[in-house]
């Protein structure tokens, strides 16, 4: 395909479709409303977005044009959507997990990226992550870049390039003592359960709607 350039809304919507296909497959494919709720989550997202249903629908339509998403043929009355990101971009599962994690959470260090990508089937060790990052960078259109280390940062960060060159990155707040990895994982699991419930409620409301 020709060089790909997504808007921030399109990148978030596409990443959400991939994420939910892995973490909550029972609620996938997804309705427009379910995608919107997932895109606007207040945790494990950076930046926080406030997409409307129209914004989400427009993003899905543009992704469909680029063959990165498609309407599910077996979704019945409520139109549901699937992603074709892995197939269209020729990504291995580990590469897909790393790229989607960057699309959902913004620039991250190697240690942050390895921890955050594991929920999506990302590499289990640093060597595997390095291999995935190298593959994502070594393309005619690179999908990931290593950012210059900002003042005060001990480690460089990586960012995705699907929305073009990333702006200057403000160093993230220092993690809580002990790294906070267990707390982050618990919060992410709680968020996934809440999202699954919200998705289920949205679909029930759609089924019960008149007409």
In order of start, what are the domains of the chain with their CATH numbers?
8-88 (1.10.10.10), 92-164 (1.10.10.10)
Full DSSP string of 37-94: HHHT-SSS-SS-----HHHHHHHHHHHHHTTSEEE-TT-TTS-EEEE-HHHHHT--HH
Higher pLDDT, 117 or 211: 117
Cα separation, 205 vs 27, whole angstroms: 15
Instruction: Please tell me the total number of residues recorded for the chain in this structure.
Output: 211
What would the pLDDT profile of 66-81 be if each residue is shown by its tens digit? Answer: 999 999 988 778 899 9
Burial class (CB in 10 A: 0-12, 13-18, 19+), 195: buried
Nearest by Cα to 29 from 17, 41, 39 = 17
Contact assessment for residue 101 and residue 162, using Cβ atoms and an 8 Å cutoff: no
What would the pLDDT profile of 10-59 be if each residue is shown by its tens digit? Answer: 999 999 999 999 999 999 999 999 999 999 999 999 999 999 999 999 99
Residues of the chain above pLDDT 90, percent: 70
Is the pTM here over 0.85, yes or no? Answer: no
Give, as one character, the DSSP assignment of residue 121.
T
């Amino acid at each position: 395909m020709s060089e790909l350039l997504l808007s921030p809304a399109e990148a978030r919507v596409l990443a959400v479709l991939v994420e939910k296909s892995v973490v909550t497959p029972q609620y996938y494919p997804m309705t427009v409303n379910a995608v919107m709720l997932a895109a606007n989550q207040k945790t494990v997202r950076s930046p926080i977005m406030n997409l409307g249903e129209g914004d989400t629908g427009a993003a899905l339509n543009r992704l469909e044009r680029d063959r990165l998403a498609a309407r599910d043929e077996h979704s019945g009355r409520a139109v549901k959507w699937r992603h074709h990101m892995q197939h269209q971009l020729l990504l291995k599962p580990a590469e897909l997990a790393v790229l989607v994690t960057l699309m959902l959470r913004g620039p991250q260090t190697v240690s942050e990226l390895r921890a955050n990508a594991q929920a999506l089937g990302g590499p289990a060790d640093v060597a595997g992550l390095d291999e995935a990052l190298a593959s994502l960078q070594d393309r005619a259109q690179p999908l990931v870049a290593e950012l210059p280390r900002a003042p005060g940062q001990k480690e460089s960060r990586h960012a995705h390039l699907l929305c073009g060159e990333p702006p200057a990155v403000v160093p993230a707040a220092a993690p809580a003592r002990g790294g906070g990895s267990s707390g982050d994982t618990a919060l992410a699991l709680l968020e996934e359960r809440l999202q699954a419930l919200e998705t289920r409620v949205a679909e029930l409301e759609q089924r019960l709607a008149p007409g």
